[in-house]
Structure 1
Amino acid sequence: MRSRYMIGFVAAFVLFVLFLSAGYQITYDRVMDRQALKQEEISDAQSIAAEGDAVNDTEDGGGYYLCELQGFVVVYLEDRKTIYEFTEIPLTDLPEEVQQEVAEGKYMKDHGDLYAFLENYSS
């Protein structure tokens, strides 16, 4: 009689572990799918080169535009379509006047102006 209870207990424990493992795997797969969709959405939104280098170089006098993307300041090339650099500067951390300028697309004429702005507001 005692061995029957032991077999039943072991069988219940094995089933419990199997259900727990299956639940974990399903949850893990859903989280990974969501993460992949977010990454795909960001990469599909804009065309960028590796490590923040622009696809088109602006050494020939082109400028930059500061715009807002998902609550953060992003630097676009002069064509306003190609992302030059993502920043970690939340739009809400900027002064109200600068927030409006960035929302409209703040123009920076060269590297010096761009990096002076980024240096001022990134710290």
Structure 2
Amino acid sequence: MKKKLSIGFFTASLAAFIILAAAYHFTYERAVDRAREEMNQTASEENLEQNEETVTTEGDASKEDCYYLMEVNGYVVVFLSDKKTAYDYTSIEVSTLPTELQNEVKNGKYIESTQLLYSFLENYSS
């Protein structure tokens, strides 16, 4: 009798474990699918925005040639024009910059070209 009870208890425990594992797997897959859909939707919206903002020019100028200098953890970090994508992490401490420039960097200093960016980095790098 004891052996039958042990086998029944083991079988019930195993079934409960399998049900919990399946439920966890199902919810995990749904969360991953939802995250993928959101990423795809965001990417397609960004592509539409980029396509709408495209301007034809005769020169080499492009809208993505601008950068923003911003403060992250006390250091100057170079971001691309979207202000979200980090382009370069510098070793320049914001506290070592002149006061006016510190305020500009804290608010997101606009740099128009790659040449101006490298000029700034040369001047303030140690």
Q: Calculate the TM-score normalised by the size of structure 1.
A: 0.49
Name which one, 1 or 2, has greater alpha-carbon Rg: 2
